[in-house]
Amino acid sequence: MGKPTGFKEFPRKTATERAPELRILDWNEFNEKIPAEDLKKQGARCMDCGIPFCHTGDLMAGMAAGCPLHNLIPEWNDLVYHDQWRDALDRLHKTNNFPEFTGRVCPAPCEGSCTLGIHDPPVAIKTIEKSIVDRGFAEGWIKPVQPHSRTGKKVAIVGSGPAGLAAAAQLNQAGHLVTVFERADRIGGLLMYGIPNMKLEKDLVERRINLLADEGITFKTNTEIGKDISAKELMSQFDAVVLAVGSTAPNDFFAKTPGRQLKGIHFAMEFLHANTKSLLDSHLKDGKYISAKGKHVVVIGGGDTGNDCLGTSLRHGCQSLVNFEVVPQSPNERAANNPWPQWPKVFRTDYGHAEAAKVFDYTKNPNKTLQHDPREYAIQTPEFLGDADGNLRAIKTVQLDWSKPDAEKKTPFSVVPNSEKEWPAQLCFLALGFRGPEQTIADQLGLEKDARSNFKADYGKYATNIPGVFAAGDCRRGQSLVVWAINEGREAARECDRYLMGKTGLP
Per-residue pLDDT of 127-138, as tens digits, reads 999 999 999 999
- pLDDT for 373-391, tens place per residue? 899 999 999 999 999 999 9
Q: Where in the chain is the domain with CATH 1.10.1060.10?
A: 6-138
The pLDDT of 32-50, averaged and rounded, is: 93
Q: 186 in the Ramachandran plot: left (φ > 0), alpha (ψ -120 to 50) or beta?
A: beta
The pLDDT of 158-162, averaged and rounded, is: 98
Whole-number mean pLDDT of the chain? 95
Q: Is the dihedral of CA 222, 226, 227, 229 positive or negative?
A: positive
Per-residue pLDDT at 446 exceeds 70: yes
Q: Is the dihedral of CA 434, 460, 216, 232 positive or negative?
A: negative
Q: How many helices, marked H, and strands, marked E, lie in the chain? A: 18, 18
What does the pLDDT read at residue 320? Answer: 94
Cα–Cα distance measured from residue 49 to residue 47, given in angstroms and rounded to the nearest whole number:
5
Cβ neighbours of residue 82 closer than 8 Å, sequence gap 6 or more: none
- pLDDT for 71-117, tens place per residue? 999 999 999 999 999 999 999 999 999 999 999 999 999 999 999 99
What does the pLDDT read at residue 62? Answer: 87
More confident residue, 388 or 371: 388
**What band does 366 get if pLDDT is binned at 50, 70 and 90?**
low
Per-residue pLDDT at 370 exceeds 60: no
- Spatial CA neighbour of 188 closest among 101, 93, 308, 269: 101
Rg of the chain over all Cα atoms, to the nearest angstrom: 23
pTM: 0.95
What does the pLDDT read at residue 50? Answer: 84
Q: What is the DSSP letter of 378?
A: S
**What band does 37 get if pLDDT is binned at 50, 70 and 90?**
very high
What does the pLDDT read at residue 240? Answer: 98
**What band does 2 get if pLDDT is binned at 50, 70 and 90?**
confident
Q: Is 104 exposed, middle or buried (0-12, 13-18, 19+ CB in 10 A)?
A: buried
Q: Cβ of 361: how many Cβ atoms within 10 Å?
A: 10
Cα–Cα distance measured from residue 290 to residue 311, given in angstroms and rounded to the nearest whole number:
14
Domain 6-138: which CATH number of 3.40.50.970, 1.10.1060.10, 3.30.365.10, 3.20.20.450: 1.10.1060.10
The pLDDT of 228-252, averaged and rounded, is: 97
- Spatial CA neighbour of 496 closest among 246, 159, 241: 241
Q: Where in the chain is the domain with CATH 3.50.50.60?
A: 154-249+434-501, 265-430
- pLDDT for 405-422, tens place per residue? 999 999 999 999 999 999
The beta-strand segments (E) located in 315-378 are 320-324, 375-376
Cα–Cα distance measured from residue 225 to residue 331, given in angstroms and rounded to the nearest whole number:
45
Cα–Cα distance measured from residue 425 to residue 200, given in angstroms and rounded to the nearest whole number:
29
Cα–Cα distance measured from residue 105 to residue 340, given in angstroms and rounded to the nearest whole number:
23
The pLDDT of 227-251, averaged and rounded, is: 97
Strand, coil or helix: what is 396?
strand
Class of domain 154-249+434-501: alpha beta
What does the pLDDT read at residue 371? Answer: 53
The pLDDT of 32-51, averaged and rounded, is: 93
Which CATH number is 265-430 given? 3.50.50.60
